Amino acid sequence: MSDLTLSPTWHALKEERKAWKALHLRTLFARDRKRAERFSLQLDDLLLDYSKNLIRPQTLKLLVKLAREAGVESLRDAMFGGEKINLTEGRAVLHTALRNRSDRPVLVDGADVMPGVREVLGRMGAFVGKVRTGKWKGFAPRGQGAKAITDVVNIGIGGSDLGPAMACLALRPYGGNIRAHFVSNVDPSHLVDTLEDLNPATTLFIVASKTFTTQETLLNAQAARTWLLDWAGDAKAVARHFVAVSTNEAAVGEFGIDPANMFGFWDWVGGRYSLWSAIGLPIALYVGMDAFEELLAGAFDMDEHFRAAPLEANMPVLLALLGLWYNNFWDADSYAVLPYEQRLARFPAYLQQLDMESNGKGVTRDGRPVKVSTGPIVFGEPGTNGQHAFYQLIHQGTKLIPCDFIAAAESHNDLNGQHAVLLSNFLAQPEALMRGKTAAEVETELAMAGLGKREIKALLPHKVFPGNRPTNTLLYRRLTPRTLGRLIALYEHKVFVQSALWNVNAYDQWGVELGKQLAKAILPELTGAATARPGAHDASTAALIATLSAALRSS
Ligand code: F6P
């Protein structure tokens, strides 16, 4: 792909940015009564209102043109078509095959992957059925009866944790008789605190790791096995209380989990795109297989929309282009995801991995340094909590932080009209960010409140809101498995489109390797099993190792 920044469209967007020095959204809304309608898009009950963005029709035209020039459509078709677009790992990128609800085959190296996908889904369904109905029993120590499973503990990290943990919290109203827990951190407190209230007789562990080499996961899994065996006193218990989800059958066997209790997936599923695979097993155990399939169906809805809708009416494409507009033409380094839905509390953390591990890249797909800023910093918290924490900076700070506001029209539990209060805040914040408050408005307000001239003069600059701060509003009827599937797939494809625009590989993550390598060398030095060779570390790291190794020895 040729350098996009050299294209006349890129240049025209720079000019368009200059024009915005004299534009304010408040005026544009006043001038164009149809602005909200013009800049909204609906997919079934999912509404994207992007009218409070710093765009006008010509901005959007240029952005869409840029997407065409970047070859977004052909890269999208290559991805869905099973081409090995993950160049550095020589892999296809086919999380979309995992939720392919059509009978279209999906070919990798000429072979259809769909029979394998369906086979694993079938095995998951059978297992989930047995566990949820109590037919799958735990181990029975001598003299005790076998008990049904009540608690599932997923041991995994990154993509083998964040998606399922986020989804289980989001889908709590669909949860049944099985409780789901997630242990990811190698900090022993995570496992210890989780196991504290659990009964080994009724606990099932899922060891989830694509590679089955991840240090944190293997250590936690070993500790969990010890906990189980301390109770059972018999290694046979492992087969009743441990299952694995992985692509690495040999390592699963070596760990001591019967391959009959393993659910596989494939190298063409990236870790952070894997919740649709058997990595979603804790979700299926928690909400049941039908609801899990609804989640897949929601993602499939978005896949079909993404494949077929013209770029100018394509939700993931629009979100991606708006993100690029701020990132590359407004120097916005970050964006905030603000779900007005407490059960989406882990959604920002999930998106952090999805977006930052995918597009946090400094070289192009062919290994040359990128010329423009790439993946943004993602952060967020549920509203209204965030309002009482970091919104100050978004309203009046010196940085431009585009925000995505997300909410459901209906709550699963309305309590004394609290949902309406939540929604009033959900609506007020984007309005405030867009409109701002002028000096004249502040002055009138303060005068009406009885303040004198001197007081008004002193307070006025603090009370002005510049406005013109961009937001997207995403609204759906209710947070169902199908809606959640759509929402996740929307962001997955947004991230993909941005990677195509920046010409970076969204599907590798070499940046996580160096720290892991160094930690491997430091561990024996910390525990005293080895001494560092002179000059192996900088003075700061060497002194810290000495301090901590002394602390470890004396504790
Ligand atoms: O360290 C990063 C990473 O490789 C992520 O990309 C991945 O989701 C996570 O670790 C866990 O990997 P695995 O599923 O192989 O244990």
Q: Note the pLDDT tens digit of each residue in 454-464.
A: 999 999 999 99
Mean pLDDT (whole number) for 293-298 = 98
Query: 157 C-alpha to center of ligand 1: Å?
Result: 6
Percent of the chain with pLDDT over 70: 100
Query: Has 388 been annotated as catalytic?
Result: yes
* Residue 196, C-beta contacts closer than 8 angstroms, at least 6 positions apart: none
User: What number does the ligand 1 atom closest to the CA of 156 have?
Assistant: 16
CA dihedral sign of residues 162, 163, 165, 167? positive
164 lines ligand 1 (CB under 6 A): no
**Residue 281's pLDDT is what?**
98
Report whether 350 contacts 493 (CB < 8 A): no
Q: What are the pLDDT digits (tens) for 120-132?
A: 999 999 999 999 9
Query: Has 516 been annotated as catalytic?
Result: yes
Which one of 88, 166, 182, 214 would you pick to mutate in the ligand 1 pocket, going by the greatest count of ligand atoms within 8 A of its CB? 214
pLDDT of residue 16 exceeding 70: yes
Which one of 512, 514, 516 would you pick to mutate in the ligand 1 pocket, going by the greatest count of ligand atoms within 8 A of its CB? 512
Beta carbons within 10 angstroms of residue 336's beta carbon: 21
pLDDT of residue 47 exceeding 90: yes
User: What number does the ligand 1 atom closest to the CA of 208 have?
Assistant: 14
Residue 265, judged by CB atoms within 10 A of its CB (0-12, 13-18, 19+), counts as buried
pLDDT of residue 2 exceeding 80: no
The CA distance from 49 to 499, in Å, is 23
Which is catalytic among the residues 11, 14, 388, 399?
388
Q: What are the pLDDT digits (tens) for 376-424?
A: 999 999 999 999 999 999 999 999 999 999 999 999 998 889 999 999 9
Average pLDDT taken over every residue of the chain: 97
Query: Has 357 been annotated as catalytic?
Result: yes
Which one of 93, 166, 210, 354 would you pick to mutate in the ligand 1 pocket, going by the greatest count of ligand atoms within 8 A of its CB? 210
Place of tokens 């990595």: 279
Q: Considering only 10-14, 389-393, 493-497, 533-537, which range has the smallest mean pLDDT?
A: 533-537
Mean pLDDT (whole number) for 23-32 = 97
